[in-house]
């Protein structure tokens, strides 16, 4: 995406955090680099957004691990996992072997 295309798809929350209009998440580093290189955001906005993205990703992963630990896979999910990923599939966030 070009910098202008990215800018059409984001807003800047509170003047410092770039977020996608579609899901409210901070765009990936590559998109942020594009905006910074085009001088469409400041270094402060870039750095603040990066810290926000890292914090939110850590929080999302922690919440997923807690949920996945307390919520077993359904038989239907296990069938789909085996069909698509094989018997040796592993959840990359929990480390749980799920294909068996």
| Model confidence pLDDT, tens digit, residues 50-63 | 999 999 999 999 99
Q: What mean pLDDT is predicted for residues 36-56?
A: 98
| Model confidence pLDDT, tens digit, residues 4-23 | 999 999 999 998 999 999 99
The domain ranges of the chain are 3-71
Residue 99: is its pLDDT beyond 80? no
Segment holding 53, helix H or strand E? helix 43-70
Sequence-separated (6 or more) residues with CB below 8 Å from residue 5: none
Please give the pLDDT value at position 31.
98
Model confidence at 98, in pLDDT bands (50, 70, 90)? confident
Model confidence at 42, in pLDDT bands (50, 70, 90)? very high
d(CA 51, CA 47): 6
Bridge partners, 5 (sequence order): none
Q: Which is more confident, 58 or 99? A: 58
């Amino acid at each position: 995406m070009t910098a202008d295309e990215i800018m059409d798809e984001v807003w800047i929350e509170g003047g410092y955090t770039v977020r996608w209009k579609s899901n409210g998440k901070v765009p990936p580093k590559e998109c942020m680099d594009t905006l910074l290189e085009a001088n469409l955001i400041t270094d402060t906005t870039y750095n603040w957004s990066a810290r926000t993205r890292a914090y939110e990703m850590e929080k999302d992963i922690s919440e997923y691990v807690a949920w996945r630990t307390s919520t077993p896979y359904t038989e239907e999910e296990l069938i789909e996992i085996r069909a698509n990923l094989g018997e040796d599939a592993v959840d990359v966030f929990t480390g749980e072997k799920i294909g068996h």
